[in-house]
Amino acid sequence: MNTPLTLDADQAHGRLGELTVIDVRTPGEYASGHLPGALNIPLDRLRRALPVLADSRADLLLVCRSGARSANGCALLAEHGVRAATLTGGTGAWAERRLELHRPAAGTRSGWAMERQVRLTAGTLVLAGLGLGLLHPAWRLLSAGVAGGLVFSALTDTCGMAALLGRLPHNRPRAADLDATLAALEERVA
């Protein structure tokens, strides 16, 4: 896999007006704070945006929380001949530099970050496995499976649990929201 182009927070901030920023996190994560002007197209929906992105003459910057998902998005786009950069360190690095993050209007519910959802789910499953293991020792395998999954996740810098959680309804954009985002993207990249 080719290494994607990268921009650090300062470089991206200096070019923000000329970049089309695509936030590939879940809608809940996006609502918790995103780069000014960023459009939300979750990573698992990026293929749907390919026709618009392939016609783009704009410089694309993909963003996620840490840079891992946006790097995967850049690789997917590169497979289809679309060049994009990723924000090194993601919105975490952006926030550390005390650069502006946009948040939804008051009253709009923002969701938990995916990392927090994974920690809650993994912890719950481990506790359930240990608790049920008191009834029957075979249930301890649930805890062992989660532990193994976490080790695999760390070694490969992937997360199957995050991929599964990303498919839950609260982490999915409504079809109308995604259609509106794609329409806005078409206007920006034309």
What is the Cα–Cα distance from 153 to 175, expressed in whole angstroms?
30
CA dist 56 → 9, 35, 190 (Å): 23, 20, 6
76 and 45 Cβ atoms separated by less than 8 Å: no
Residue 22 phi/psi, 5° resolution? -115, 115
β-sheet bridge partners, residue 5: 85
Query: In this structure, what token pair is assigned to residue 188?
Result: 């920006």
Which of 61, 64, 122, 185 is the catalytic position? 64
Active site residue 64: yes
Distances (CA, A) of 138 to 47, 121, 127: 41, 20, 14
Q: Where are the beta strands (DSSP E) in the chain?
A: 5-7, 19-23, 39-40, 59-63, 84-87
Active site residue ranges: 64
